[in-house]
A and B are shown apart, each in its own frame.
Chain A
Amino acid sequence: MTDASAEPIIRIRNAWKFFGELTALNDVSLEVMPGEKVVICGPSGSGKSTLLRSINRLETVDKGTIIVDGQDVNSPDNDINKIRQELGMVFQSFNLFPHKTVLQNLTMAPMRLRKTPRAEAESRALELLKKVGISDKANVFPAMLSGGQQQRVAIARALAMSPKIMLFDEPTSALDPEMIGEVLDVMVTLAREGMTMVCVTHEMGFAREVADRIIFMDHGQVLEENAPQEFFSAPKHPRLQKFLNQIL
């Protein structure tokens, strides 16, 4: 799945982040190879979302470097807006643009940022909507959709920019249980197509199925990092053992 000779597409080195007294990231290092699927899990407040959000600089780390596709995201020499175009992001709370139709949500960024002609952007958008299973809702406003549908649109919106990497920040945590499956299905399909993915999630079934590597964090530190098989069958760190006992 990963090419051993390739360079990591994401390289986080000794990242520190403080929120006042709280240390959200405590000397975290992480590398992600192209095509790799990494799941980050851990209790709430463990710093997993902060880590994910520092990759596209929604949070700025206080110390350490974050290199995405060869570019330091915190360097003033690099255009963060260009870097972000290669990093699709999906949020817990969907964050669709409520004043735009579903189709416009998907075409807005490619038309403006990639100068894609409208017709092309729309046909690509319709393709993506078909892929996430809601092509019949192209012309409605997001408020007309269920949570699961909104999240699938949000995934399609991120994909519309044809990013190299997809970041998922607890994409199913705000969903009713019966809608979680439909969103995970889309994510599994995406993983099978070879997308590089970093997912913060509590969905251990998903992690087991698609992850190449699972990272366990607590108190801003990476406590364990392993392939899913070992991660679940032979957890080494006592904190992870306790965590797995509670959620499985």
Chain B
Amino acid sequence: MTTEPQNVRIVITDGAIIPDPKERRIITAWSISFVGALAALVYLCTSRPEPYWRLLQFLPDGIAVTFKVTVLSILCSIPIGLVTGLGRLSRNRLINLVASTYVEVVRGIPLLVQLFYIYYALGRFLKVPDLLAAIIALSVCYGAYMGEVFRAGIDSIPKGQTEAARSLGFNRAETMFMVILPQAWRTILPPVGNEFIAMLKDTSLVSIIAVADILRRGREFASESFLYFETYTMVALIYLLITLFLSKGVSIMESRLNYYDRR
């Protein structure tokens, strides 16, 4: 019988493949993609500055917007996810049903449809600014996914931890916030990082409701210049490089989180 929490790795594949922090080899899918993307970017910008170099100067405004939308939406979806996850684990039938229904409904509707719904359909009654609509749609959608991440993370902590805390006299809330969540955190953080990457990619959907993100900036450039191939090559490379950077970041973070079970 073991008392250590199992090092559960929740794998959700719609973000990015997170490199294994223990991987010591140099040639990996990550390094090939990263070096390839970087080399392509440098080669294109130096060999054909027009239009590539110009594109590289045109798109960064969009990168800032993409990050802004992503970060704000993640920050909103984390508390939603925590509440949802706790709700799904609640023994109160009503709370449990509300949380589960929310997850069920949100997961059953495509994000793009949710986005249209908030911006256009609800826009009939209440005009929501485009940026806010984007953040609301992404937060509501990802809150449901995040809820599952929190639920799984909390579930991964052995029951003995709860029993030990409760038998010392801690109440439910103290047990959750002082004993369970601090341990669940390291199981939860990597998939949250992964959700961040997935969300960053999904923010490209908001270009449809006039938020000037990377893709939107690309479309503006392409519709003026008619250089569709060049523009979307550049857009794709930028998304790829950002995603690769972030997946490496998540991987490093994951290895740092295991400090207390090192012997």
Q: Which residue of B lies closest to A157 (CB)?
A: B168
Interface residue? B12 (CB, 8 A): no
Residue among A81, A85, A89 with max Cβ neighbours from chain B (10 Å): A81
- Choose one: A81, A93, A157; the contact of B1 (CB below 8 Å): A93
- Choose one: B163, B170, B178; the contact of A95 (CB below 8 Å): B163
Q: How far is the CA of A95 from the CA of B175 in the complex (A)?
A: 13
Tell me which residues from 164 to 198 in chain B have a Cβ below 8 Å from any Cβ of chain A.
164-171, 174, 178-179, 182-183
Tell me which residues from 151 to 172 in chain B have a Cβ below 8 Å from any Cβ of chain A.
158, 160-161, 163-171
What are the residues of chain B within 8 A of A157 when measuring CB–CB?
168
What are the residues of chain B within 8 A of A158 when measuring CB–CB?
168
A-B contact count (CB 8 A): 80
Q: Which residue of A lies closest to B261 (CB)?
A: A143
What are the residues of chain B within 8 A of A87 when measuring CB–CB?
167
**Interface pair A109/B168, CB less than 8 Å apart:** yes
Q: How far is the CA of A144 from the CA of B168 in the complex (A)?
A: 23
Interface residue? B57 (CB, 8 A): no
Q: How far is the CA of A113 from the CA of B3 in the complex (A)?
A: 24
Given the contacts A95-B161, A98-B183, A143-B263, A56 and B167 also touching, CB distance less than 8 Å = yes
- Choose one: B169, B182, B261, B262; the contact of A82 (CB below 8 Å): B169
**Interface pair A81/B260, CB less than 8 Å apart:** no
Given the contacts A112-B178, A141-B260, A98 and B167 also touching, CB distance less than 8 Å = no
Given the contacts A98-B261, A112-B178, A84 and B5 also touching, CB distance less than 8 Å = no
- Choose one: B4, B166, B260; the contact of A84 (CB below 8 Å): B166
Residue among A58, A97, A142, A158 with max Cβ neighbours from chain B (10 Å): A97
**Interface pair A143/B4, CB less than 8 Å apart:** yes
Q: How far is the CA of A223 from the CA of B164 in the complex (A)?
A: 30
What are the residues of chain A within 8 A of B223 when measuring CB–CB?
none
Q: How far is the CA of A113 from the CA of B2 in the complex (A)?
A: 28
Q: Which residue of B lies closest to A92 (CB)?
A: B1
Q: How far is the CA of A104 from the CA of B206 in the complex (A)?
A: 47
Tell me which residues from 105 to 162 in chain A have a Cβ below 8 Å from any Cβ of chain B.
108-109, 112-113, 141-144, 150, 154, 157-158, 161
Given the contacts A94-B3, A98-B5, A174-B1, A113 and B163 also touching, CB distance less than 8 Å = no
Nearest CB of chain B from residue A30's CB, rounded to whole Å? 19
**Interface pair B168/A84, CB less than 8 Å apart:** yes
**Interface pair B169/A109, CB less than 8 Å apart:** yes
Chain A residues with a Cβ under 8 A of chain B = 56, 58, 81-82, 84-85, 87-89, 91-99, 108-109, 112-113, 141-144, 150, 154, 157-158, 161, 174
Chain B residues with a Cβ under 8 A of chain A = 1-5, 158, 160-161, 163-171, 174, 178-179, 182-183, 260-263
